[in-house]
Structure 1
Amino acid sequence: MLFSMTGYGEATIRRATFSVRAEIRSYNHRGFDWSARLPAVLAPLEDRLREVVRQFVRRGRVEISLTLEEFGGRERKLYIDWPLVEALLRVVRELPGKALPVPGNDWVWSWILGFPGVVNLGADELVPELAQAAEEATGKAAEALHSRRRQEGGHLEEEVRLHLQRLRKLHQALADREPELTKAYRERLEKRWEELRPQAVTPEFLSAAARELVMLGERLDIREEIVRLGVHLAAMEEALNLEEPVGRRLDFLAQEVNRELSTVASKAQDSEVALLVVEAKATLEKIREQVANVE
């Protein structure tokens, strides 16, 4: 079963005084990559939210965004940075009297309280109810993302299976062609042997020529490559039935298939085989394009 690496999921959890909305997008990536945009009050939850998402996503770039909406009723606290106030008062005391455009403490305190950083909004506390809602929203969004990735992966799997069926037919055509090639090679070697025998002036030369012809025959034999090609195709078909991510496995097997096809074309030196290999490689490339989007 294939899962696409691209997808989208969202979920909203509502409580009496707030709501949390989670949005998750995933994209193609060689491994697992994580990016989170969270309200300050939810920042301490990032590692936990990452664990929640990892239960559904093993590979791909994940971007998650949480939005917190409050409906009022929560008391806000203000804090004064007293060390900063004292530092500003020292500055005021050092000013000459004529430097103050308006005499009196009212101006001084107005200036101090308006100075950046003197009056601060207290940090929100991450109450258990809010943390639970954030995790729940993230889990539901990740589950929706997983469902969409699975749905898209189903379409990709259909394409891959169709291309694999075509590769199977091409593999069979190569297997059917192999005995004819073997027969032709044998006839060529026998003819060459008959040509060399009259020229052999010593037993050593005759023995060396025989070994050379045997090695040439082995170099032109494509039976082992045909067998390995079938094994790799079977492994790809089996991978499609697994419940775990198989994108990397399929990519590796596709590389092995490509390697065997290249060897077959190089060793066979046959126009019919060359045409079959060209079509097989074109079909294989379509599979690799689909696999690039698979978890």
Structure 2
Amino acid sequence: MTDNTVTKHPLTLLGLGDMGTALARTWLAAGHPLTVWNRTAAKAEALAAEGAAVAASPAEAVAANTLVVLCLLDDASVGSVLDGIDLTGKDLVDLTTGTPAEGRRRAAWAEARGARFVDGGIMGTPAMIGVPASGAYVFHSGSRALFDTHRAALQVPAGARFVGEDPGHAALFDMALLSGMYGLFAGISHAYALIEGEDIAPKELAPLLSEWLGAMGFFVGNAADRLTSGDFTTGVVSNLAMQVAGSGTLLRTAEEQGVSAELITPYLELMRRRLAADPVAHAGEDTVGAITLLKR
């Protein structure tokens, strides 16, 4: 199939921040008729030159097409921008960053107004949008019928992954992955802080740190298996008691190097609490058991 035979799907985009603009340019480059609106109208001028139709108001933009994509500041902005607009028969895809609860509430809100709804979580930065090799993709959850109808258009800027009909799941997957990312960033930051002032260049540590973290990637699958089975003891190589005992060395090293341990202390304390709760039962466990203490 050549590009000329692919149906060019018309759509509306509300919100032209850095991410919204990147999305818009990708759809325009792929030949999809696009109507845009932004609260600060000047941001739409460059897109108009690239072929976008610029709406004077959110209502005009929504009326232009069945598929309406939102990429706004927050969930409150979505409600404010769409307030009083007739959404009957519209398909709303909300790519605004939000929480699972916000996604579920917004889905109910949209459906009460006669619209189908899909929430989205973008896994990527604006620079990654429209670049197939970047690995960027978008989680989608909510109306499966909406997703199936518009999938061809939705996957133009980045890969489209449907993760269920619960509208909150796209945000939940999004936040789960970002939480893992920030935890990783915290450990990396602590590692670089330890060598600051020493005769060790950051670029000397970098390949070693990258290699080590890659080797430790097995923890992701290991944790999933143990949380699923509830078995925290079979096949353990480095048990909880040993890791808690060894954690003191990490803390003393940070103190000697004049580095705050605030980025790593929370996880070390979680392991200590798990062991202290029942030293006999938990000593031989994998550290995965500490995860069970996080649920309130």
What range describes the TM-score normalised by the shorter chain of this pair? under 0.3
- Which of the pair has the greater relative contact order for Cα pairs under 8 Å at 6+ separation? 1
